[in-house]
Structure 1
Amino acid sequence: MGQPYVGELRMFAGNFPPMGWMFCEGQVLPISENQTLFTLIGTTYGGDGQSTFALPDLRGRLPMHAGTSQGGTTHTLAETGGVEEVTLTANQVPAHSHGLPVSSTAASSRSAVGGVPAATAAEAPWATAGPTEAMTTSTAAGGSQPHTNMQPYLCVNFIISLFGVFPPQS
C-alpha cells in the first residue's frame, strides 16, 4: 500500500503505533507540531483551536459513518452515543400477560394432570372440563437490574496517520 493520507484511520493489531501514527485515544496535541493534521480535523474532537487540538477517541467505541441513515436519523462528525448496559422500563417490555387458567365449574378430579384449578375445592380441587377464565392477579417480577447491551466484539487498536499525502477533494 502506498503512503497514507494525513488523518487516515486504520485498525491495527499491534500494541504500539507505527512511526508517524498515533493511537486514537483522544490525545490533545500542539497545533504547532501537527499543522497539516489540524488543517484537516480542526477541533472536531476537542482542543482549544488556538494552540491545541484533539485526536478522535475510539477506546470502547465502534466507528460509524457520519451522515443521514436510510431511516432518516442524522449523525454528525464526532458525535458519540450508545451505552454498554441498559435497564428496560415497563413500557419497553413487549405486551404480554401472566394469566392462570381456572375453571368456573365445580371440581371433578383429584389429579392435576390435564386439569385446572376449580371454583370449589371440596375433596377434588381440579376441574377437567368446563369454561375457563384467566385470573389476572399476579405479583411483580424482575429485579430491574441492567443487562449488557453489547454485540460480540474483538478489541484492536485504531491508529491515525500524522503524516503522508494531503487528501485531495474530489
Structure 2
Amino acid sequence: MSAPYVGEIRMFGGNFSPAGWMFCDGAQVPISNFETLFQLIGTTYGGDGQTTFNLPDLRGRVPVHMGNLSGTSFLIGELAGVETVTLNTNQIPTHSHALIAATGTSLASPVGNFPGPASSTSGGVAYGPGPINTTLAPSTIMPTGGSQPHDNRQPYLGINFIISLFGIFPSPT
C-alpha cells in the first residue's frame, strides 16, 4: 500500500487503529505530538488551538463531501442531521380514516360511545344508544398517534474510520 497523506481518512475493518493512525472518534490530542496534522486541520473539529486539537468524530455519522449541491452548502467540519424525526401534520400526505363499526357482536348497546351493531333485525350498524348528538369516542374518528420520533437512519454497516497522523504532506493543486 502506498504511503498515506497526513490527515488522510480511510475506512478500516479492524477493531484497533494501526500504527501511525488514530480512530476518527473526536479525540483531543496534543499539538506538540502531531504538529503536521495540526497544520492541516487546525481546530476544525475542536480543541483550544494552543495546546490541543481534536480529530474528526465520525462515530454515528455519515461523511459528506464539502461544497455546494443544489443550493445546499456543506462546510468542512460541519455537523448536521438527526437520528430520529417526529413528523408534523403538514408532512403527512392528505388522507382520511374510515369510520368502521363492527357487526356480528352481541352488544346491541355499545358502551364508551363506540360504534356497534344496531338492535334491529336489519343488520345495520348504529352509533347508539343516546340522543342524536351523541359524541363518539375520540379514538373512532379523531387523529391518533403518539407524536413519538421514529428512526431516520438509512441502512448502515458499522466500520471504523481512521486518520493518518504521519505521511506525505499534501500539496494543493
TM-score (norm 1): 0.77
Q: Which residue of 2 aligns with 1:148?
A: 151
Q: What letter matches 1:77 in structure 2? A: I
Q: Give the SS at the match of 1:11.
A: strand
Q: Which runs of 5+ in 2 are unaligned?
A: 101-118, 125-139
Deviation at 1:15, TM superposition (A): 0.6
Cα RMSD for the two superposed structures: 2.5
TM-score (norm 2): 0.76
Deviation at 1:124, TM superposition (A): 2.9
- Mapped to 2, the partners of 1:95 and 1:81 lie a distance apart of 29
- Mapped to 2, the partners of 1:138 and 1:27 lie a distance apart of 53
2:22 counterpart of 1:19:
no
Q: What are the superposed Cα offsets for residues 133-159 of structure 1, whole Å, 9 maximum, x if unpaired? A: xxxx92221122221111111101000
- Mapped to 1, the partners of 2:35 and 2:63 lie a distance apart of 24
Deviation at 1:60, TM superposition (A): 0.7
Q: What letter matches 2:172 in structure 1? A: Q
Q: What are the superposed Cα offsets for residues 21-48 of structure 1, whole Å, 9 maximum, x if unpaired? A: 0000111111111110000000000011
Q: What letter matches 2:145 in structure 1? A: G
Q: Which residue of 1 aligns with 2:104?
A: none
Mapped contact 2:99–2:141 kept (Cα < 8 A): no
Q: Give the SS at the match of 1:37.
A: helix
Q: What are the superposed Cα offsets for residues 101-156 of structure 1, whole Å, 9 maximum, x if unpaired? A: 9xxxxxxxxxxxxxxxxxxx975365xxxxxxxxxx92221122221111111101
2:82 counterpart of 1:79:
no
Q: Which residue of 2 aligns with 1:5?
A: 5
Structure 1 residue runs of 4+, over 4 Å off? none
Deviation at 1:98, TM superposition (A): 2.3
State the number of aligned residues. 146
Q: Which residue of 1 aligns with 2:47?
A: 47
Q: Percentage identity across aligned positions? A: 61
Q: Which residue of 2 aligns with 1:29?
A: 29
Q: Give the SS at the match of 2:45.
A: coil
